[in-house]
Amino acid sequence: MAASMIGSKVERKEDKKFLTGKGRYTADITLANQTFAYFIRSPHARAKIKNIDTSKAKKASGVIDVLTAKELNEDKIGGLIAGWKIVSKDGTDMKIPPHPALASDSVNYVGDHVALVVAETLQQARDAAELVKVDYKVLKAVVNTGDAMNSESIHDGIDKNLSFDWELGDKAKTDEAFSSADKIVKMTLTNNRLVPNAMEPRASIGDFNPSSEELTLYTTSQNPHLSRLVMSAFNAIHPEHKFRIVAPDVGGGFGSKIYPYAEDVVVAWAAKRLQRPVKWVCERTDSFLSDCHGRDHITNCELAIKNDGTVTGLKVDTIANLGGYASLFATVTPTYLYGPLVLGLYNIASAYCNVKAVYTNTAPVDAYRGAGRPEATYMIERLMDKAAKEMGMDRAEFRKKNFIRQFPHQQCLVHNIDSGDYEAHFNKALELSDYSNFEKRKAESAAKGKLRGIGFSTYIEACGIAPSAAVMSLGAGVGLWESAEIRFNATGNISVMTGTHSHGQSHDTTFAQIVADKLGVPMENIDLVHGDTDKGPFGMGTYGSRSLAVGGTAIAKACDKIVEKGKKVAAHMLEANPDEIEFKDGEFIVPNSNKKKTIGEIAFACYLPGTYGEIKSPLPEGVEPGLKETAFYDPVNFSFPAGSHVCEVEVDPTTGETKVDTYTCVDDFGNLINPMIVEGQIHGGLAQGIGQALYENAYYDETGQLVTASYMDYTMPRADNFPEFRIDYTCTPATSNPLGVKGCGEAGAIASPPAVMNAVIDAIGTEVSMPATSEKVWKALKDKSDTKKKAA
Amino acid sequence: MKSINLTINGKKISKEVEDYTLLSTFIRENLNLTGTHIGCDTSQCGACVVHVDGKSMKSCALLAADVNGAKVTTIEGLADNGKLHPMQEAFKKHHGLQCGYCTPGMVMSAVDLLKNKKNPSDKEIREWLEGNICRCTGYQNIVAAVKDAASKM
Ligand code: FES
Ligand code: FES
């Protein structure tokens, strides 16, 4: 066995099944006697439901039942919840409207769930759906983030559509910094609404076993344990100990599969009520309408700056759109995942951040790759760019001047950053991107009639979500520790149970590398078990780049316990003192002797504690048989990945078309377990972030119809949109977990939108908002030249 | 109903299908070959790409009845008696997949590209794969995998 698996580019254990078509996603599961479900959704953005007539549909061929809010209420099924309490600056709690799993008297976005048709075939369910008559009284929809507070309330008792008005920071101190500033730079930014678009559409299959009274839900979830907890405790579908949730292979999540959806609740309940398996698979159009969306902020921000370029204060005023209801993590995303991060990598002595969260008649907005941190990074990095230009300073120098230099660093808002070296990755990124020769390349582009621009972005994340004490004191409904169990089998192979979930992140491989390294067992003898509440210990799932830092550490700790027990057993068998036993590369050794036992022998002895030669039992007195250890890990602090990205674009002024010509990133993720997998995570994040900057936009018209509800209208980034990314690293290990890892899953999506936009704006010399489509860039250039002409 | 005869992954079959049955539905539901995925309802994601008489096609854009008599290969039929196809090997080696959902379509599409172009450039690979959406990988490792496979085939 290689000396260390940690840090090696090991090929993935999970690949073979996916490459041969043997992946097993929820939609691939077929149960005996299963029925098919089809959801009737609201075609209106805002309406009262006067009546639902299901009588005709119920009689249609193959129909088993048509379920509405009436049946849901009969069975006392609870509504969906918001899992994180936010308190407004005036001390009042956030305002959360009821969110029934099937709409009872009103609908609040196009795609809102109204009724479920269950039939013998999908075609029959769909046909019958046409026969359900819903009588709506259509009301004027509230659609725009910026107008919501001046519009009619869409939920009773929620004045101005305002859920909360939250603040963070020292306002008086910040005001003082602004009054003594030499220069104030302001801007208004829109962070465009996105649709996560995991390639596997959501799906659920409910299955009730009348004999054991066990209810099973197969579903596309990033955290089955949390879903089960919520669906037992709040939706009251079934008691937790009789409720099993299985998230088999899941085709991408990016946040959109963290939270249980109305469909999960209704399908699980329907299976129990109808006593037959109920299968529902979302169609892409319905995914666009009803998956939670991401971002959607309008922000006014300003910097207070001294003449020498020192930034002394930051003010941020954001309106965040929650959509029609508050989804599970919707309230934490624009507050605690956003506000504390607005300072970026900069040492700014004072800051104040105000966030107003509003309801509109659009799909609920929740965590999407980066969740709050991309919005924070976009704000500070666009603002720093503008400030540098207005100060007449080089944009790179201006950033460097304001970087945090000493660690640990207590920021003026919330976070205490344990480690980092920001100048190191920034300088490396400048070098790798050949910044010093940019003007030459710009001239070359100009000679071809093209406009070239360069943009920087630096970012910090708070990852490894997270320390339970910290998050619960901030309003989280649950702690965010993680669990692991190592089951050593008698024959020497290992099952590793984790409470995290892998849906592309390669846990099967990365976690096996940690175990292989810690226990000296070959990779092929280690199997990761996740995604089934019946198989592993309770865990918090995968999001916020937490799996390795928190879940990986729990695994490492469970391995340590195995070694500890193994030492006791080995000492007894080798007639030595447990303290003197050394464990290395899978062997327990008595130093300066030839006495040793392999970990396989120890495992075998633990399960079959019979006579071993002279030894009556290999187990010392008081040691229980078996070799299985559980560990829970609750970190002391978040981890803080950071990095510097540089983007160069070339714009064709005749068409407005923008091409990303080069993209360079240098990230500090602390220690890397598998660099190949880390690189893959960066690539994917970059594609999503560049997608946000140049192509993607969820657009509702004034009546609340989602105009971009298919791949014809919503521009997904494709292979020919990107250059080859240049990637490098610096490393300052995290001190908050023993692996020294920081998390890498979201970095690309966080850092790239401002890098691209700063480059586009540098190229065209005028403002443009995301996504910088050809049309918008062309118009911005035209407006600029029209204004010039007028002035002349 | 129509009765159709097909060769699927080398095996001859004959089945009755509804006139409106899509080839993708037929493959997944009637033949239980669930490696062919459905990612959209507008024929734009490429998750469902299979080979029909050797050419890559979006199986959600064809009716099962339309391919009567054809030879259809799905991702399940690509490996040769358990030995991975060089394209599958290359995807593994270069980490060309993460969640695996787009992968079957991506691999089938890439195999067809190499039939037409022995040594495609990066640009040609990216342009060819324009019909396949991947949300996870950012495409870079897929391009590397296709290039590597080209050098081995
Ligand atoms: S399923 Fe999307 S193209 Fe066929
Ligand atoms: S690997 Fe997940 S969509 Fe391509």
* A22 Rama class: left (phi>0) / alpha (psi -120 to 50) / beta: alpha
| Nearest CA, atom 3, ligand 1 | B43
Q: Does the fold of domain A482-633 match that of domain A31-139+199-252+257-290?
A: no
Is it the case that residue A781 has pLDDT exceeding 90? yes
Which residues on chain A are in Cβ contact (under 8 Å) with B28?
A: 28
The residue whose CB lies within 8 Å of the most ligand 2 atoms, and thus the one to mutate among B98, B139, B146, is B98
* 8 Å CB contact between A745 and A371: no
* A647: exposed, middle or buried (Cβ count in 10 Å: 0-12, 13-18, 19+): buried
Q: What is the pLDDT of residue A463?
A: 75
How many Å separate Cα A358 from the centre of its chain? Answer: 22
Strand partners, A609: none
Among partner residues B76, B123, B134, which is closest to A21 by beta-carbon distance?
Answer: B76
Multiple choice CATH, B2-77, 3.40.1440.10, 3.30.450.60, 3.40.50.280, 3.10.20.30: 3.10.20.30
Predicted ipTM of the assembly: 0.98
Q: How many residues does chain A have?
A: 792
Two structure tokens written together for A683: 């690539």
A25 CA to centre of ligand 1 in angstroms: 16
Residue A476 and residue A226: Cα distance in Å, rounded? 13
In chain A, where the domains are located:
31-139+199-252+257-290, 294-465+637-791, 482-633
CA distances from A624 to A71, A495, A585, A617, A620 (A): 51, 19, 25, 12, 9
* 8 Å CB contact between A741 and A679: no
* Topology annotation, domain B86-152: DNA polymerase; domain 1 (1.10.150)
B47 CA to centre of ligand 2 in angstroms: 9
Say how many Å lie between the first and final Cα of chain A, rounded. 75
| Nearest CA, atom 4, ligand 2 | B134
Q: Do B37 and A504 touch (CB under 8 A)?
A: no
Q: Are strands A63-67 and A582-584 parallel, antiparallel or unpaired?
A: unpaired
Two structure tokens written together for A504: 């592309």
Strand partners, A527: A495
Among partner residues A30, A503, A718, which is closest to B99 by beta-carbon distance?
Answer: A503
| 3-state SS, residue B144 | helix
* Topology annotation, domain A482-633: Aldehyde Oxidoreductase; domain 4 (3.30.365)
Angle, CA A275 vertex, CA A273 and CA A278 arms, to 5°: 85
Q: What is the pLDDT of residue A133?
A: 98
Two structure tokens written together for A544: 């916020």
Residue A545 and residue A496: Cα distance in Å, rounded? 20
* A475: exposed, middle or buried (Cβ count in 10 Å: 0-12, 13-18, 19+): middle
Residue A9 and residue A229: Cα distance in Å, rounded? 37
Residue B56 and residue B127: Cα distance in Å, rounded? 15
As a whole number, the mean pLDDT across chain A is 93
Distance of residue A28 Cα from the nearest chain B Cα, in angstroms: 6
Average pLDDT over residues A602-608: 91
Among partner residues A20, A250, A254, which is closest to B75 by beta-carbon distance?
Answer: A20
How many Å separate Cα A360 from the centre of its chain? Answer: 23
CB of B34 closer than 6 A to ligand 1?
no
Least trusted range by pLDDT, from A372-376, A541-545, B119-123:
A541-545
A389-432: pLDDT as tens digits: 999 999 999 999 999 999 999 999 989 999 999 999 999 999 99
Class of CATH domain A294-465+637-791? alpha beta
Angle, CA A171 vertex, CA A169 and CA A175 arms, to 5°: 130
Contacts of A392 (CB under 8 A, 6+ apart): none
- In the A/B pair of chains, how many CB contacts fall below 8 A? 176
A70-86: pLDDT as tens digits: 999 999 999 999 988 99
Average pLDDT over residues A127-150: 97
Confidence band of A505 (pLDDT split at 50, 70, 90) = confident
Residue A44 and residue A123: Cα distance in Å, rounded? 24
Question: What b-and-e string marks burial along A371-380, b requiring 16 or more CB atoms within 10 Å of the CB?
Answer: bbbbbbbbbb
The residue whose CB lies within 8 Å of the most ligand 2 atoms, and thus the one to mutate among B102, B109, B132, B146, is B102
CB of B46 closer than 6 A to ligand 1?
yes
Q: What is the pLDDT of residue A27?
A: 98
Q: Please state the φ and ψ torsions of residue A533, each to the nearest 5 degrees.
A: -65, -15
Average pLDDT over residues A690-702: 98
Q: What is the pLDDT of residue A479?
A: 61
Among partner residues A27, A680, A711, which is closest to B98 by beta-carbon distance?
Answer: A680
A37-70: pLDDT as tens digits: 999 999 999 999 999 999 999 999 999 999 999 9
Tell me the ligand closest to B58's alpha carbon: 1
Is it the case that residue A190 has pLDDT exceeding 60? yes
Is it the case that residue A528 has pLDDT exceeding 90? no
The residue whose CB lies within 8 Å of the most ligand 1 atoms, and thus the one to mutate among B37, B43, B103, is B43
* 8 Å CB contact between A363 and A706: yes
Average pLDDT over residues A287-311: 98
Q: Which helix (H) or strand (E) holds A315?
A: strand A311-323
Tell me the ligand closest to B139's alpha carbon: 2
Q: Are strands B2-8 and B71-73 parallel, antiparallel or unpaired?
A: parallel
- The number of the ligand 1 atom at minimal distance from the alpha carbon of B44 is 3
Q: Do B98 and A198 touch (CB under 8 A)?
A: no
Q: What is the pLDDT of residue A2?
A: 43
Q: What is the pLDDT of residue A466?
A: 62
Question: What b-and-e string marks burial along A83-92, b requiring 16 or more CB atoms within 10 Å of the CB?
Answer: bbebebeeee
Looking from the CA of A336 toward its CB, the CA atoms found within 13 Å total: 21
In chain B, where the domains are located:
2-77, 86-152
Q: Please state the φ and ψ torsions of residue A655, each to the nearest 5 degrees.
A: -120, -15
Q: Which residue has the tokens 């599958």?
A: B88
- Determine what percent of chain B falls in helix, strand and coil, rounding each to the nearest 5: 40, 20, 40
Angle, CA A195 vertex, CA A782 and CA A465 arms, to 5°: 120
A613-659: pLDDT as tens digits: 777 788 888 889 999 999 888 877 888 999 999 999 999 999 999 99
Q: Which residue has the tokens 């107008």?
A: A147
Is it the case that residue A725 has pLDDT exceeding 80? yes
- The number of the ligand 1 atom at minimal distance from the alpha carbon of B49 is 4
Residue B152 and residue B145: Cα distance in Å, rounded? 11
Q: What is the pLDDT of residue A439?
A: 98
Strand partners, A649: A453, A660
Two structure tokens written together for A161: 């559509």
Residue ranges of alpha helices (H) inside A506-552 are 507-519
The residue type of A328 is: L
Q: What is the CATH number of domain A31-139+199-252+257-290?
A: 3.90.1170.50
- The number of the ligand 2 atom at minimal distance from the alpha carbon of A504 is 2
* CA-closest candidate to residue A11, choices B93, B16, B137: B93
| 3-state SS, residue B88 | helix
Q: Which among A7-16, A275-284, A674-683 has the top mean pLDDT?
A: A275-284
Two structure tokens written together for A129: 């759906």
Is some CB atom of chain B closer than 8 A to the CB atom of A251?
yes
Among partner residues A12, A199, A712, which is closest to B101 by beta-carbon distance?
Answer: A199
Distance of residue A332 Cα from the nearest chain B Cα, in angstroms: 25
Is it the case that residue A543 has pLDDT exceeding 80? no
* A257 Rama class: left (phi>0) / alpha (psi -120 to 50) / beta: alpha
| Low-confidence residues of chain B: pLDDT under 70 | none
Is it the case that residue A468 has pLDDT exceeding 80? no
Greatest CA separation found in chain B?
46
Strand partners, A417: A409
A303-329: pLDDT as tens digits: 999 999 999 999 999 999 999 999 999
Q: What are the strands, taking DSSP E only, across A54-173? A: 63-67, 106-107, 113-119, 133-138, 162-169
Residue A763 and residue A659: Cα distance in Å, rounded? 11
- The number of the ligand 1 atom at minimal distance from the alpha carbon of B61 is 4
* 8 Å CB contact between A362 and A154: no
Q: DSSP letter string over A664-713?
A: EEEEE-BS-S-HHHHHHHHHHHHHHHHHHHHT----B-TTS-BS--STTT
* CA-closest candidate to residue A114, choices A126, A125, A106, A124: A106
* 8 Å CB contact between A547 and A500: yes
Average pLDDT over residues A8-32: 94
Q: Do B101 and A197 touch (CB under 8 A)?
A: no
- Disruptive mutation site among A9, A11, A17, A20 for chain B (greatest number of B CBs within 10 Å): A20
- The number of the ligand 2 atom at minimal distance from the alpha carbon of A251 is 2
* CA-closest candidate to residue A206, choices A130, A166, A260, A143: A260
Is it the case that residue A1 has pLDDT exceeding 50? no
Least trusted range by pLDDT, from A29-43, A573-587, A594-608, A621-635:
A621-635
A326 CA to centre of ligand 2 in angstroms: 29
Distance of residue B126 Cα from the nearest chain A Cα, in angstroms: 5
Q: What is the pLDDT of residue A512?
A: 87
More confident residue, A549 or A721: A721
Q: What is the pLDDT of residue A618?
A: 85
